[in-house]
Amino acid sequence: MPDNGRKPDTVTLTIDGREVTVPKGTSLLQAADGIGVEVPHYCYHPGLSAPAQCRICLVEVEGAPKLQPSCVTMAQDGQVVHTDSAPARRMRQGVLEFYLVNHPLDCPICDMSGECMLQDYVFEEGREKGRGREPKRVFGRDDFGGDVLFYGDRCVMCTRCVRFMEEVARDPRLTVVERGSRAVIDTFFEHGLEGASYAGNIVDICPVGALVSKDFLHKARAWDLDHTESICPGCSQGCNIELHTRDNLVQRLKPRENREVNGHWMCDYGRANYEWMNHPGRLEEPAVGRGNGRREADWQEALQLLFGRLQGEDGASVRMVGSPFCSNEALAGLLAVGGAADGGASGVFRCPRAPDEDPLPGFPLLVRRRDLAPNVHGAGILGLERVGDDEGEGGLEDVADHDGILLVLGDGLRDQDEGFGANASLFVYLGTFDSPAAVNADFVLPVTTFAEEEGSFVNVQGRAQCFRQGLHAPGSARPAWLVLGALAAAARGLETPASASAAFDRMAEDHGAFAGLTHEAIGTAGMPLEGVHA
């Protein structure tokens, strides 16, 4: 044991005058990153191997005969490193100049502009003027298949894309062909990336605008997009993502790093699954009354009337239909309203299922799961029973004919007909879209999608994860946790929860699996629920 008390598996070095202690095996680039010093890099990516080929991460290490590539030089005890010394900057400036010899500098029409690592580094460290006089090499544009377009002229040959497909997707469909300045990325076969399940990630990790998404092509400028921490609603894996929004529309989804769930990645199915968040034609105002007697009402009137009806249904039993697309807070609100009736309550939910799972072999934690909804596990933990088939249909025979109180939240009832709920003494439909099967509803209440509210889901690992609000709700639509929370609170003589976080606190009082947790503690990176396993 060393006498300085430091753990034997760490090393202490100095980077730009600051002492830093890191685990053995940490590269200089990672050690610098840990103290907020960014060393320019292209080929290095934390989720891939480091081939040390881009030569832009050169730093000065005292005592070393020449500059060292910081991505593969491991931190050593007593090392003194200068990332910003004149020799280091001069060398990186030279490397950058080489990159610009053939780069087209078409930033004004490049989708990556504003988030491009070439643009950033040249702005920070590059020469003011280029000295190249030769005509630039031209490759043009290539359709790589799937959602990916390749602009060869912009490529800096970092090989991140090739290594991702090889090391992480284990589906090696890209390679480098030719040599020297003619070297270019290409596909092996004509089908290219068509049919690959995780290829969208190469667009994310391409440090420049060489690989771009067809779906996002020329849709928005990076600096016009708002980023919101969220959770992918595509399946029960619960990949951490960002919603990138502009003009109150989701423009694209991007993975958000969480090494416990999805690493740096997300699947193409989940990435493409966002247009529904932008759909027009939403339910916008509360309505009361069945069939032809239906009329619009404001929230105050609708909730007062509904509360009165619930109070008047003495002894009626309650059947609830929830949805695995709803947050824990919303589902707990549904159960609290149902539970307040004295005739007994039971609830179900339905979920579409894919025929198979789709794993990411190089990061085995990430699997596109069979359950194609984000909160199947939250719904189960809260006590809703799963019914229906793999299409997310059927299983509501008992509910459809129920003659007591019927509460439907988030299930669009698309497989049900106009007879649904005809016998119910009180039928309440809370949804984002109207449904022909809700014609018998006494109350139709517009609620928000997960993108328009805050809340939490529980993923397949039993991990609770929070998401934030990225879009404004249409019309008077309100979060279901608020609507149902207000009704449940009135029944119990409590205050209406004023936030999703307060609704979570109330849920934690009612449901032991969430006891002791808060939104703040869980955060958007999530936390495993104790005693809940996949």
Q: Please report, as ranges, the residues that interact with ligand SF4 according to CB under 6 A.
A: 155-161, 185, 206-208, 210-211, 232, 234-235, 237-239, 262, 266-267, 269-270, 368
Structure tokens at 407: 């509460």
Structure tokens at 324: 């695995």
**Which CB atom, from 37 or from 158, has the smaller least distance to ligand SF4?**
158
**Which CB atom, from 270 or from 526, has the smaller least distance to ligand SF4?**
270
How far apart are CB 472 and ligand SF4 at their closest, in Å? 24
How far apart are CB 197 and ligand SF4 at their closest, in Å? 9
Residue 437 DSSP one-character state: G
**Measured in whole angstroms, how far is the alpha carbon of residue 25 from the centre of its chain?**
30
How far apart are CB 377 and ligand SF4 at their closest, in Å? 12
- How far is the C-alpha of 241 from the C-alpha of 257, rounded, in Å? 8
Phi, psi of 476 (to 5 degrees): -100, 15
At residue 431, what is the residue type? G
Q: Which helix (H) or strand (E) segment is 399 a member of?
A: helix 397-400
How far apart are CB 235 and ligand SF4 at their closest, in Å? 3
42 closest CA partner among 183, 208, 264, 242: 208
Where does 229-325 have alpha helices with state H? 268-272, 299-312
How far apart are CB 39 and ligand SF4 at their closest, in Å? 18
DSSP states of 510-522: H-GGGTT--HHHH
How far apart are CB 269 and ligand SF4 at their closest, in Å? 5
Query: Are the C-beta atoms of residues 26 and 10 closer than 8 Å to each other?
Result: no
How far apart are CB 175 and ligand SF4 at their closest, in Å? 10
- How far is the C-alpha of 116 from the C-alpha of 252, rounded, in Å? 17
Q: What is the three-class DSSP state of 122?
A: helix
How far apart are CB 227 and ligand SF4 at their closest, in Å? 17
**Which CB atom, from 270 or from 286, has the smaller least distance to ligand SF4?**
270
Q: Is the dihedral of CA 313, 316, 320, 326 positive or negative?
A: positive
**Which CB atom, from 61 or from 156, has the smaller least distance to ligand SF4?**
156
At residue 291, what is the residue type? G
How far apart are CB 295 and ligand SF4 at their closest, in Å? 40
**Which CB atom, from 182 or from 295, has the smaller least distance to ligand SF4?**
182
Query: Are the C-beta atoms of residues 406 and 428 closer than 8 Å to each other?
Result: yes
SS3 of 143-195: EEECCEEEEHHHCCCCCHHHHHHHHHCCCCCEEEECCHHHCEEEECCCCCCCC
**Which CB atom, from 237 or from 416, has the smaller least distance to ligand SF4?**
237
395 closest CA partner among 357, 429, 349: 349
Phi, psi of 286 (to 5 degrees): -65, 150
Query: Are the C-beta atoms of residues 518 and 504 closer than 8 Å to each other?
Result: yes
**Which CB atom, from 220 or from 365, has the smaller least distance to ligand SF4?**
365
**Which CB atom, from 232 or from 288, has the smaller least distance to ligand SF4?**
232
**Which CB atom, from 427 or from 450, has the smaller least distance to ligand SF4?**
450
